[in-house]
Copies of this chain bind each other. A is one copy, B any other.
Amino acid sequence: MTLALDPAAQDLLFREARTANTFTDEPVTEEQVQAIYDLVKYGPTAFNQTPLRVVLVRSAEARERLVKHMAEGNAAKTATAPLVAILAADNEFHEELPQLLPHFPQAKDMFFSERPVREQSAAMNAALQAAYFIIGIRAAGLAAGPMTGLDFAGVQKEFLDDDHTPLMVVNIGKPGEDAWFPRSPRLAYDDVVTTV
């Protein structure tokens, strides 16, 4: 056993978890999303910044507004998934740094006074947090269907503002019939890892 994580958890989070394209009708509750957040909020980021923002699209009216910005191949599953979440990066995350990094509150002004620096940091750290969120969805026994095939500018205008950059849209629910394609290949270890 090289890994400390037990095999059932390995399967739940990585080995058997798959990006779902169909879902059952079973709703995803507010309690589940709160439990996911309460787990993954601990994932590490630079300076403990937490730029990730999550918009849960629950109403039929909002769902309709979202679907029209999805790429053709993503529209039907976005329309029918039990829950859909827009993940975005808050480019003004530095305002919360004094609260989030109480031992080094001056980080806000020392490192993040310029917007382009903030945008780059928010994009990277919100992506880290998006990955933790996807892992958290799986930790809840649910399948995630993350998507980047969408009109980002349209989603931003419809649901966000100039300070919030959308990263992806994620369908969430119990997998339905024929929920996924066969697993695609992965790169071999030696194609990814080198040693110096």
Chain A residues with CB under 8 Å of chain B are 2-6, 8-10, 12-15, 17, 19, 31-44, 46, 48, 50, 52-59, 62, 96, 99-103, 123-125, 127-132, 134-135, 138-141, 144, 146, 148, 159, 167-168, 181, 183-187, 189, 191-196
Q: Which among B17, B42, B55, B58 is the interface contact of A15 at CB below 8 angstroms?
A: B42
**Residues of B close to A141: CB separation below 8 A:** 3-5
A66 and B74 alpha carbons, distance in the complex (Å): 43
A102 B184 Cβ-Cβ under 8 A: yes
CB distance from A32 to the nearest CB of B (A): 6
Given that A15-B39, A128-B131, A189-B34 are contacting pairs, would A139 and B5 also be in contact in the complex, using a CB cutoff of 8 Å?
A: yes
